[in-house]
Structure 1
Amino acid sequence: MDTESTYSGYSYYSGRSRGSHRHGERSRDRHKSRSKDSSRSEKSVTINAPPAEPLLGDQSARGEEVQDDNWGETTTAVTGTSEHSLSQEDIVRITKDMEDSVGLDCRRYLGLTLAAALGLLVFLTPLAFLVLPHLLWPERLKACGTACEGLFISVAFKLLILLLAVWALFFRSPRAGLPRVFVFRALLMVLVLLFVVSYWLFYGVRILDSQDENYQGIVQYAVSLVDALLFIHYLAIVLLELRQLQPSFSACVTRSTDGEIRHYNLGQLSIQRAALAILENYYRDFPVHNPALLSASKSRAAKHLAGLKVYNVDGPGNNGAGQSRAMIAAAARRRDTSHNELYYEEADHERRVRKRRARLVVAVEEAFTHIKRMQEEDQKKSPGEVMDPREAAQAIFPSMARALQKYLRTTRQQHCHTMESIQQHLAFCITNNMTPKAFLESYLTPGPTLQYGRERWLARHWTLVSEAAVTSGLKEGTIFLLKCIDFSLVVTVKRIPYIKLSEEFIDPKSHKFVLRLQSETSV
C-alpha cells in the first residue's frame, strides 16, 4: 500500500471491506486491463491538445491516465509508470503531429503577417495623403474652407467604419489549417494591393511632383480612396460569405468502417472549403467511432475459418491454389448454418443488453434517491458539514459502478468513458438537479462525437485525398476522401436538381354544391 499514490472514489469508500485473499486477483486483473489498454491505444487517435478544464473546481493537473477496465470492481491506483507509458506508434505519431504543427504555424503566421502589413498600408494611405502636403509644402497650400473641413469628418467616420468591417470579416480565429490558400481571399488581397499602389503612383506623379496647391482636391482624392476601399470590402462580403449561402450541391458522407451516412447541403465552395464544412458537421452529427463494434464481426469470420481444415492426401507438394478453393467451397457449404449462429448470437446479445440496462436503471434510481435523502439531511446541518456535489458523486458512485461497467462492457463502450469522466458527469447532474434519466442518457444512447473527451475522438491531422485540385470548385460527381488514422470519410457530391413548379388554378365555385332533400327523407 505504500506504493499507491492516487485512490479512486470507489477504493476509498468500499476498498476496505474487501478481503486480503482477493489482492492477487485484483493485481492480475489490473495487469490484464493495462495490457488491453496498451493494445487499444495503438489504434486510437493521439493528439497534442491542451486538456479541458476540470469540472467543479478540480484544479489538480492530470495526465492521460491508463483506464482500468475493472474500475467497477477493483481498487485502482495510478502509478508513475502508467502515467508515462508510451508505445512506439505513439512516439511516431507525436513526432509527426509536432512536425505538422510547426509547418502549419509557420504558414499561419506568414499569412497573418502579410495581411497585417497590407492592412496597415491601406489604413495609413489616406492619412498620408492628407498629411504629406502639410509637411512638404505648407506655405503654398490654399486655405481649407468649410466644405474641405466637412470632408475631414467624412474621412474619419469612413475609416472607422472600414476598420470595424475589416475586423468583423477577417480578424477571426482560424478554424483549421487548409492545404492551399483561399483563392478568393488571395485575389482580394492582390486587388487591394494593386489598387493602393495605383493610387500612390497617381499621387506621386500628379500631386507630389507638381506640389499641387489645391488642398481641397487632395482631400477629395483621399475620400475617393476610402470610398473605393469600402466597395472592395462589400465585394469581399459577397465572395467570401454570401456566395456560399445558397445550397447548390448535396454531399453524401460515408464513414468507411461502419458505413454511417449523413447528407449535407453545400453552396459554391472549393473542395478544401467543402471538406472543412463537412468535418465541422462530422463532430456534431456522427456518432463516435467505436472500433470495438467492428471487432465482433471480424472475430466471428476468423472463428468460422479457423474451424476449417484442409488435408493434402497427394503428398507434401505446394498446392496453395487448391487449398484456397477447398476452403472457399467448405465455407460455402457452411453458409446454411452460419446465419443461425449469427441470429442466436444477436438475440443473446440483445437479451444481455436489456438485462444490464434494467439493472443499471435500478441502480442509478436508487443512487439518486439516496442523493435526495442526503440533500434533505444537509439542509439541517451547519454550512461547514454540507457535502459539495463532487463529494456526493464520489459517495454514491460505488453503488452504481458495477452495473454501469457491465453495461458499458456489454455495449462495447468501456473505452469511451473513464471513471473520472463518469464522476464528473454525475457531479454535473447533481449540481443542476437532473433526473436519473438525464444522467443515463449519455450512456444508454451513443451521442455525437463532441460529447466525449478529446482524447477519445479528436484527430488533429486529416488528409484530403482528391483527384481534382483542392482549390477547384465542387462539380457534379466530385469524389474526395478525408482520411485520419483509424478511418476515412468518403464524400460524393451531387448537384441539387433544377426544380420547375407549375400552377393550377381551382375555381372556388367548383367546391359548392346543392343538397336537395326529398319530402319523405327523415331529417
Structure 2
Amino acid sequence: MDTESNHSGYSHHSRGRQQRERRHDGQKSVNVTVGQPLLGEDSGRGEEDEEGQDDRWGETTTAVTSERSASFEDLAPVGTSRIPDTVKPNTWIMIGFYLSCALGLFAILTPPAFIVLPQVFWGSQLEPCGVVCEGLYISLAFKLLLLFLASWAVFLRPPRCDLPRLVEFHALLIVLLFFFLSSYWLFYGVRVLGPQEKNLLGVVEYAVSLVDALIFIHYLALILLELRQLQPFFYLKVMRSSDGEMRFYSLGTLSIQRAALFVLENYYKDFPVFRPDPPVVRKRTRHNNHHQVYSVDGPNSSTVSQSQTLISTSTNYKERYYEEAEHARKVRRRKARLVMSVHDAFSQLKRLVQQDEEWKLPNTLHPREAAQSIFPLIAQSLQRYLRSTQQAHLHSMEEIIQHLTLCLTHRMSPQAFLEQYLHPGPPVQYPSNPYGVWTLVSEESVTSPLRSDLTFCLQCSDTQLLVTVCGIPFLKLSETFISPNSHRLIVSSKPETNL
C-alpha cells in the first residue's frame, strides 16, 4: 500500500489524494503532525510495547504535515547534539610560529638588501660590472623566487598540534638559520659597510653565495623533517582499550611525541567510531543465589584449605548468549524496518514528482522542503535503529535532514542515504564527536627516538590508545639457481605396445 506525504502548501490535488487514501478500511494509519516529537527519548510507546507488537509493520504510514505556522525545528533532536570543542594552539605556539615566519622572511630579504645598501649609501662611487652583474641579478631573482615557493610549500603551515616538547629538528634548523644569518650580516658589516667596498661585483657574488647557502639549508630541512621518516624501521600496534579495536602502522625513525601525533592523525580516519556495547538486562532467576562449595582435597579432609573453590551453579553464560541473540534479532528487525521505510519514502516522493510532471505543474518544491516532507516517514524507524545500535549520540535531527537534502539534490538512491547509518564510519565523519585533548603517557622522555619494545599510551576523556613499538626485523634474501633442465618432463611420442 502506498503512502502519501504532503508538504505545507505544496498543491491542492495532493491533499485531496491523501483524503481518498485515508478512507480505505482495514489500514493502519499513523498521522504524524509537524509539532509531534519524533526523535525524543520517548517515542510515544516504550520499548516494551514495541517488543510486544507483531511484525506486521509493513502497513501504510501516512505523514500529514499541517498548514499552520509550524516548523520541523519543534522536533526533539536525536540524543544530545554536542558541539565540538574548538581546540586552538596556545599563545606560545603561535608566537613561535610567527617568529619562524619572520625569520624566514628576513632570510629571503637579506640578499636583496646586501645589493641595495651599497647603491643607496655610495651609488655613484661603485665600480660598474656590466653584463656580469645583470646575469647574476637574474640568477638571484629566480633563486629567491624558487626558495620562497619551496619554503611556502614545506614550512608555511599553521600549527595543527600542540606537542608537550619542542620538535628537536625544528629547533635545530631555526637556531642554525639564525646563526647563519648573523654570521653573514656580521661579515657584511665588517668587510662591506665598514670599509665602504666599491666593488659591486664582489657584493653581488656575496649575495648569491648567501642564496645558495639558504637553498642548502632548505634541502637539509627537507631531509630531516620529511624524508627521514619515510623509510620504515618500526611498526606500531595501536589498540583501543574500550573495545580492543587494533590497527598496525609502519613508521620511520621519529621521536615518541611525533609518533603519537602520527597515531592520532590516523586514528581519526582509520578506526571505526566507538559504540558502547548495549546494556545487558539480566533477568533474576532462582539459581542466581545458589552456590555450592567443593573441596579439592577430598571428602575426608579434616581442615578447610585455601584450595576450596566457590563454583556458581547458575547459567549466566546461557542467559547472556540468549540476550545477545535477542538483541541481534532486534537490530535486524529494526534495520529491515528502516530500509523499507526509506525505500517507501523515496518511492512516494518520486511518484509525486512524476505526477506533477504529467499534470504540468510548476516544480516549486525545494530539496530541503522535500526532505522535510518525507522525514517524518523515516524518523521513528531511524531513531529506534540508532538507539539499538548505540549511534543516537552521533546524529542530530538537523544533520539527518541535511544528509537527506544532499541525497535528494544529487538524486541518490535510498541505499546511499542509508549507508551512513548502517555502516558507521571513522570519528572524523561525525561533527558531534568532539576532538578532545589527548595526554601522552610515557615512561621515557617524549623527545627520545622510537625503539623496539617501547610502549606508551594516549589518553582522552573517554578513549585510551595503547601503542606498542616493534622493530622491523633484518631481512636477508638468498638466491638459489635452478637449472632449466632439472625439472623438464620428457614425453615419448611412441605408442605403447602390448608385450
The TM-score, its normalising length taken from structure 1, stands at 0.74
Given that residues 459 and 484 in structure 1 are in contact (C-alpha distance below 8 angstroms), is that contact kept between their aligned partners in structure 2? Answer: no
The Cα of 1:282 is off from its aligned counterpart by 0.8
Q: Which moved more, 1:341-350 or 1:186-195?
A: 341-350
Q: 2:205 aligns with which of 198, 220, 225?
A: 220
Distance in 1 (alpha carbons) for counterparts of 2:39 and 2:121: 87
Q: 2:378 aligns with which of 374, 380, 400?
A: 400
- After TM superposition, the structure 1 = structure 2 runs for residues 260-409 of structure 1, keeping only pairs within 5 Å, are 260-291=245-276, 293=277, 296=279, 308=289, 332-334=311-313, 337-380=315-358, 384-409=362-387
The Cα of 1:469 is off from its aligned counterpart by 1.6
Distance in 1 (alpha carbons) for counterparts of 2:37 and 2:132: 94
The Cα of 1:458 is off from its aligned counterpart by 2.3
Q: 2:183 aligns with which of 198, 207, 214?
A: 198
The Cα of 1:382 is off from its aligned counterpart by 5.7
Given that residues 247 and 267 in structure 1 are in contact (C-alpha distance below 8 angstroms), is that contact kept between their aligned partners in structure 2? Answer: yes
The Cα of 1:166 is off from its aligned counterpart by 0.8
Secondary structure at 1:438 match in 2: helix
Alignment CA distance shift 1:378-1:187 (3 Å): farther
Q: Which residue of 2 aligns with 1:494?
A: 470
The Cα of 1:423 is off from its aligned counterpart by 2.1
Report the residue type matching 1:134 in the other structure.
Q
Given that residues 451 and 469 in structure 2 are in contact (C-alpha distance below 8 angstroms), is that contact kept between their aligned partners in structure 1? Answer: yes
Distance in 1 (alpha carbons) for counterparts of 2:400 and 2:411: 16
Is residue 505 of structure 1 aligned with residue 481 of structure 2? yes
Q: Which residue of 2 aligns with 1:468?
A: 444
The Cα of 1:451 is off from its aligned counterpart by 2.3
Q: Which residue of 1 aligns with 2:77?
A: 67
Alignment CA distance shift 1:32-1:213 (3 Å): farther
For each residue in 1:146-189, what CA deviation from the matched residue of structure 2 results, as whole angstroms up to 9, or x when unmatched? Answer: 21221111111111111111111111233222222221111111
For each residue in 1:397-420, what CA deviation from the matched residue of structure 2 results, as whole angstroms up to 9, or x when unmatched? Answer: 222222222222222222222222
Given that residues 456 and 468 in structure 2 are in contact (C-alpha distance below 8 angstroms), is that contact kept between their aligned partners in structure 1? Answer: yes
Q: Which runs of 5+ in 2 are unaligned?
A: 1-6, 19-28, 47-71, 292-305
Is residue 422 of structure 1 aligned with residue 407 of structure 2? no
The Cα of 1:463 is off from its aligned counterpart by 1.2
Is residue 147 of structure 1 aligned with residue 132 of structure 2? yes
Secondary structure at 1:379 match in 2: helix
Alignment CA distance shift 1:398-1:509 (3 Å): same
Given that residues 251 and 265 in structure 1 are in contact (C-alpha distance below 8 angstroms), is that contact kept between their aligned partners in structure 2? Answer: yes
For each residue in 1:311-350, what CA deviation from the matched residue of structure 2 results, as whole angstroms up to 9, or x when unmatched? Answer: xxxxxxxxxxxxxx9xx966x414x511111111112122
Given that residues 378 and 387 in structure 1 are in contact (C-alpha distance below 8 angstroms), is that contact kept between their aligned partners in structure 2? Answer: no
For each residue in 1:38-78, what CA deviation from the matched residue of structure 2 results, as whole angstroms up to 9, or x when unmatched? Answer: xxxxxxxxxxxxxxxxxxxxxxxx99x97356xxxxxxxxx
Secondary structure at 1:491 match in 2: strand
Alignment CA distance shift 1:378-1:182 (3 Å): farther
Distance in 1 (alpha carbons) for counterparts of 2:165 and 2:145: 32
The Cα of 1:28 is off from its aligned counterpart by 9.7
Distance in 2 (alpha carbons) for counterparts of 1:24 and 1:280: 38
Q: Which residue of 1 aligns with 2:173?
A: 188
Q: 2:232 aligns with which of 240, 247, 253?
A: 247
Q: Which runs of 5+ in 1 are unaligned?
A: 1-8, 34-61, 70-81, 311-324
Alignment CA distance shift 1:28-1:467 (3 Å): closer
For each residue in 1:460-510, what CA deviation from the matched residue of structure 2 results, as whole angstroms up to 9, or x when unmatched? Answer: 311111122222211112211111111211111111111111122222233
Report the residue type matching 1:478 in the other structure.
L
The Cα of 1:252 is off from its aligned counterpart by 0.9
Q: Which residue of 1 aligns with 2:425?
A: 447
Distance in 1 (alpha carbons) for counterparts of 2:217 and 2:414: 56
The Cα of 1:513 is off from its aligned counterpart by 2.4
Alignment CA distance shift 1:286-1:32 (3 Å): farther
- After TM superposition, the structure 1 = structure 2 runs for residues 124-143 of structure 1, keeping only pairs within 5 Å, are 124-143=109-128
Q: Which moved more, 1:192-201 or 1:112-121?
A: 112-121
Given that residues 378 and 386 in structure 1 are in contact (C-alpha distance below 8 angstroms), is that contact kept between their aligned partners in structure 2? Answer: no
Distance in 2 (alpha carbons) for counterparts of 1:305 and 1:223: 91
Report the residue type matching 1:472 in the other structure.
S
Secondary structure at 1:257 match in 2: coil
Secondary structure at 1:481 match in 2: strand
Secondary structure at 2:352 match in 1: helix
Larger relative helix fraction: 1
Is residue 156 of structure 1 aligned with residue 141 of structure 2? yes
Q: 2:92 aligns with which of 107, 111, 131?
A: 107
Distance in 2 (alpha carbons) for counterparts of 1:484 and 1:467: 18
For each residue in 1:359-381, what CA deviation from the matched residue of structure 2 results, as whole angstroms up to 9, or x when unmatched? Answer: 22222222222122123234346
Secondary structure at 2:344 match in 1: helix
Alignment CA distance shift 1:306-1:68 (3 Å): farther
Aligned length: 433
Secondary structure at 1:129 match in 2: helix
Distance in 1 (alpha carbons) for counterparts of 2:239 and 2:111: 52
The Cα of 1:25 is off from its aligned counterpart by 13
Q: Which residue of 2 aligns with 1:484?
A: 460
The Cα of 1:190 is off from its aligned counterpart by 0.7
Distance in 1 (alpha carbons) for counterparts of 2:406 and 2:497: 72
Distance in 2 (alpha carbons) for counterparts of 1:351 and 1:198: 76
Given that residues 78 and 392 in structure 2 are in contact (C-alpha distance below 8 angstroms), is that contact kept between their aligned partners in structure 1? Answer: no
Secondary structure at 2:449 match in 1: coil
Distance in 1 (alpha carbons) for counterparts of 2:326 and 2:30: 36
Q: Which of these two proteins has the greater Rg computed from alpha carbons?
A: 2
Alignment CA distance shift 1:32-1:402 (3 Å): closer
Alignment CA distance shift 1:383-1:206 (3 Å): farther
Percent identity, please.
Answer: 49
Distance in 2 (alpha carbons) for counterparts of 1:26 and 1:515: 78
Secondary structure at 2:440 match in 1: strand
The Cα of 1:118 is off from its aligned counterpart by 0.9
Secondary structure at 2:250 match in 1: strand
Secondary structure at 1:494 match in 2: strand
Alignment CA distance shift 1:303-1:288 (3 Å): farther
Is residue 459 of structure 1 aligned with residue 435 of structure 2? yes
Distance in 2 (alpha carbons) for counterparts of 1:127 and 1:236: 23
Distance in 1 (alpha carbons) for counterparts of 2:99 and 2:228: 25
Distance in 2 (alpha carbons) for counterparts of 1:120 and 1:26: 55
Distance in 1 (alpha carbons) for counterparts of 2:285 and 2:157: 56
Q: Which residue of 2 aligns with 1:177?
A: 162
Alignment CA distance shift 1:213-1:345 (3 Å): same
